[in-house]
């Protein structure tokens, strides 16, 4: 690879295009979160895949709800790329200037190609970005289309919303978190039962309710129990794969999936913590339509780097990768 910076000549990426072939989902890993070169290389590859291979979605190890915030900006242009990044990526490893550049390019592409726009999705568990506004995506649909079911839905979501501070939520007694997870699942079942003729608005509402239920279940983990942590990570990878599969099958889009190597690969480097990976679940669901690509450094730069944060204006230290 001649460069990690986006733009410019991409003839050096032809071998990668051949490797990808006709895959509909490509998992692109990284050994560290927060390294400039990994971020910019993924931006460069996404541009190439959009322009040469017909890809239209960039998926990230980010909450479903935060992904919706970014995608709404990409489709409508309402707001400002930096402000959207500040709101959707705050306190995450993705709170970096490089992602502002990616979002800016995606919005510019959509202005130039209104008939074939690109999309951004978050495939991960929802907290901490699930707030009362996100719950409103579900309750507002029910209010408009099935008002008779709104009192029951509000009852089920009482005590659950908002989930805006995951650490505070985890301080709730385990029995209470388990009860709230049960109610979130019942709310999803209620929504599913309202399907009728279905349609786009219903499908999105059901998926939003599913994201809430996924998050509530994930947060029933006992952080003091190593076995529970392992089970919760397996569940998280399963959820991320389910969300990618839902998006791909519903939209038909080709997706570049960005995550850590242990998530996109078929087997994790630490199988105790990650007993089954997102990549393994995707292989089960998509077969040869899923292709994972691991990413590491050829060598470690001798100097440390800092990456400016669009949310704070400060910098975060560049973290060198672990030895192979």
Does residue 155 lie in a domain region?
yes
118 and 249 fall within a common domain: yes
Query: 60 and 196 share a domain?
Result: no
The answer to whether residue 224 is domain-embedded is no
Name the residue with tokens 């699942």: 185
Please say which residue of 186, 218, 250 terminates a domain. Answer: 218
271 and 308 both lie in a single domain: yes
The answer on pLDDT for 139 being more than 50 is yes
* Claim to verify: residue 116 and residue 150 sit in the same structural domain: no
Asked if 301 and 241 sit in the same domain, the reply is: yes
Cα-to-chain-centroid distance, residue 200? 20
Q: Are residue 28 and residue 118 in the same domain, yes or no?
A: yes
Q: For residue 96, which of 29, 40, 31 has the smallest C-alpha distance?
A: 40
Average pLDDT score over the chain = 88
CA distances to 120, 156, 222, 228, 319 from 175, in Å: 36, 16, 11, 15, 38
Nearest to 57 by CA among 150, 122, 127: 122
pLDDT in tens, 222-273: 877 888 888 999 999 999 999 999 999 999 999 999 999 999 999 988 888 8
Contact indicator for 129, 63 with CB cutoff of 8 Å: yes
Domain contains 323: no
pLDDT the model gives residue 315 = 33
Task: Please name every residue paired with 308 in a beta bridge, in sequence order, or none if there are none.
Answer: 315
Please give the pLDDT value at position 130. 58
Say if residue 18 is in the same domain as residue 117.
yes
Count how many domains the chain has: 2
Domain match, 118 and 140 both: no
Name which of 52-66, 137-151, 166-180, 293-307 the model is least confident about. 293-307
Q: Which segments of 243-314 are extended strands (E)?
A: 255-258, 290-293, 306-308
Q: At 316, give phi and psi (nearest 5°).
A: -120, 145
Q: Which two tokens stand for residue 168?
A: 């505070």
What is the structure's pLDDT at 297? 83
Angle at 101 between CA 95 and CA 104, to 5 degrees: 110
Check whether residue 212 and residue 246 sit in a common domain: no
Residue whose token pair is 């190597």: 261
Could you tell me which of 293, 296, 237, 232 has the C-alpha nearest to residue 265? 293
CATH of the domain at 19: 3.40.50.11550
DSSP state of 92: S
pLDDT recorded at residue 93:
86
pLDDT per residue as tens digits for the range 207-224: 999 999 999 999 998 877
Task: Name the pTM for this structure.
Answer: 0.89
Domain boundary among 218, 245, 272: 218
Q: Which domain holds residue 184?
A: 132-218
Question: Is the same domain home to 117 and 26?
Answer: yes
């Amino acid at each position: 690879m001649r460069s990690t910076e986006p733009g410019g000549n991409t003839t050096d990426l032809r071998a990668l295009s051949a490797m990808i072939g006709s895959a509909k989902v490509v998992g692109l890993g990284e050994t560290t979160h927060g390294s400039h070169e990994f971020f910019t290389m993924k931006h460069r590859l996404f541009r190439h895949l959009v322009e040469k291979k017909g890809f239209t979605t960039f998926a990230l190890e980010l909450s479903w709800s935060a992904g919706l915030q970014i995608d709404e900006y990409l489709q409508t242009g309402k707001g400002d790329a930096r402000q959207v990044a500040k709101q959707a990526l705050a306190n995450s490893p993705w709170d970096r200037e490089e992602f502002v550049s990616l979002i800016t390019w995606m919005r510019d592409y959509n202005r130039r190609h209104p008939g074939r726009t690109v999309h951004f999705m978050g495939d991960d568990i929802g907290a901490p970005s699930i707030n009362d506004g996100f719950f409103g995506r579900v309750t507002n649909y029910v209010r408009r289309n099935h008002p008779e079911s709104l009192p029951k839905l509000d009852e089920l979501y009482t005590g659950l919303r908002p989930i805006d501070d995951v650490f505070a939520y985890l301080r709730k007694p385990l029995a209470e978190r388990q009860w709230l997870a049960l109610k979130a699942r019942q709310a999803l079942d209620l929504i599913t039962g309202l399907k009728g003729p279905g349609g786009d608005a219903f499908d999105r509402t059901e998926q939003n309710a599913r994201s809430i239920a996924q998050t509530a279940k994930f947060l029933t983990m006992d952080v003091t129990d190593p076995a529970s942590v392992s089970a919760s990570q397996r569940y998280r990878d399963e959820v991320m794969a389910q969300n990618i599969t839902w998006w791909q099958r519903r939209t038909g889009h080709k997706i570049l999936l960005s995550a850590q190597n242990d998530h996109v690969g078929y087997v994790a480097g630490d199988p105790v913590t990650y007993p089954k990976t997102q990549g393994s679940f995707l292989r089960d669901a998509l077969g040869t339509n899923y292709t994972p690509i691991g990413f590491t450094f050829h060598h470690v730069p001798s100097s440390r780097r800092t990456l400016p944060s669009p949310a704070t204006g400060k910098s975060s230290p560049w973290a060198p990768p672990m030895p192979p």
